[in-house]
Structure 1
């Protein structure tokens, strides 16, 4: 019997954050796909991705723009925004996401939020059957 591990895509232009989140997610049993830009994720496509975690402040397509593009293509996909910025406007713009975390954030809180989002999707999927 094989267990399919959920895939969490992480987009951040800071390689240290990518490495840290990859280690955290994989230690919790997820498959982590890491991307240094929104474009590199979009080039790969979203098929197979179960959750998206994206930084807000990135060059090119920022996290808000990526969230909007993803929600058009996959409205059911849970999206979490992370940021080191602390402007209050970001909280308003983060509405419509599954979660918003300010760096440095509690890794266990992020893992719990990811697990909850996946459980919610599973329950909703079963309700439609």
Structure 2
């Protein structure tokens, strides 16, 4: 985990959601980095990120595919999936993530989940040392 404020990457093709999540995360003390696609996130790389929040239904590489790629390259990185769809299959396919949120989601619940994931990751890092 990075020193200083934790860095949270958000991937969603809805600019209004990106802006509101950025504001929410920054008001909670995080550094928020927004990306409109998985490709734009991957161009910058996953180094330096402490949490990833991605929409499932983004164009190109979708959120589930991005989660799979991240788990191969950064298995310790907490990944949260968000979706506007209400299909049970999405929740089943979302196994192996830190959290799953349906839009509209409770902002405080998302912040609590991100905080818990960071805390758990910090505790795991402490046990490994």
- Structure 1: give runs of 5+ residues left out of the alignment: none
Q: Distance in 2 between matches of 1:59 and 1:119?
A: 32
Q: Distance in 2 between matches of 1:97 and 1:126?
A: 21
- Partner residue, 1:7: 7
Q: Which 4+ residue blocks in structure 1 deviate beyond 6 angstroms?
A: none
Q: When the two structures are aligned, how many residues end up with a matched partner?
A: 127
Residue 18 of structure 1: how far off its partner (Å): 0.2
Please, what TM-score do these two structures have when normalized by structure 1?
0.97
Task: State the Cα deviation string for residues 67-124 of structure 1 (Å, max 9, x = none).
Answer: 0011100000000000000000001011100000000000000000000000000000
Matched residue of 2:82: which SS?
A: strand
- Partner residue, 2:118: 118
Q: Distance in 2 between matches of 1:24 and 1:99?
A: 17
* Superposition pairs of residues 13-52 of structure 1, within 5 angstroms: 13-52=13-52
Matched residue of 2:108: which SS?
A: helix
- Partner residue, 1:94: 94
Residue 23 of structure 1: how far off its partner (Å): 0.2
Matched residue of 1:86: which SS?
A: coil
RMSD between superposed Cα atoms in Å:
0.7
